A and B are shown apart, each in its own frame.
Chain A
Amino acid sequence: DTGVSQNPRHKITKRGQNVTFRCDPISEHNRLYWYRQTLGQGPEFLTYFQNEAQLEKSRLLSDRFSAERPKGSFSTLEIQRTEQGDSAMYLCASSSWTSGRGTGELFFGEGSRLTVL
Chain B
Amino acid sequence: QQQVKQSPQSLIVQKGGIPIINCAYENTAFDYFPWYQQFPGKGPALLIAIRPDVSEKKEGRFTISFNKSAKQFSLHIMDSQPGDSATYFCAAPSDYKLSFGAGTTVTVRA
Contacts and interface: CB of A to CB of B under 8 A. Distances in A.
A21 interface: no
B54 interface: no
Of the listed residues B43, B102, B103, the one surrounded by the most CB atoms of chain A closer than 10 A to its CB is: B43
B45 interface: yes
Interface residues of A, number: 26
Contact of B34 (A33, A56, A103, A111): A103
Interface in A47-79: 48, 50, 55-56
A48 B89 CA distance: 20
B46 interface: yes
B73 to A, nearest CB: 14
Contacts of A102: 31-32, 51, 93
A40 interface: yes
Interface in A1-23: 4
A101 B31 contact: yes
B46 A97 contact: no
A90 B97 CA distance: 16
Contacts of B32: 102-103
B97 A45 contact: yes
The 7 closest A-B pairs by CB, nearest first: A108-B43, A42-B100, A103-B93, A102-B32, A103-B32, A105-B46, A42-B103
Interface of A: 4, 31, 33, 40-45, 48, 50, 55-56, 91, 93, 97, 101-103, 105-111
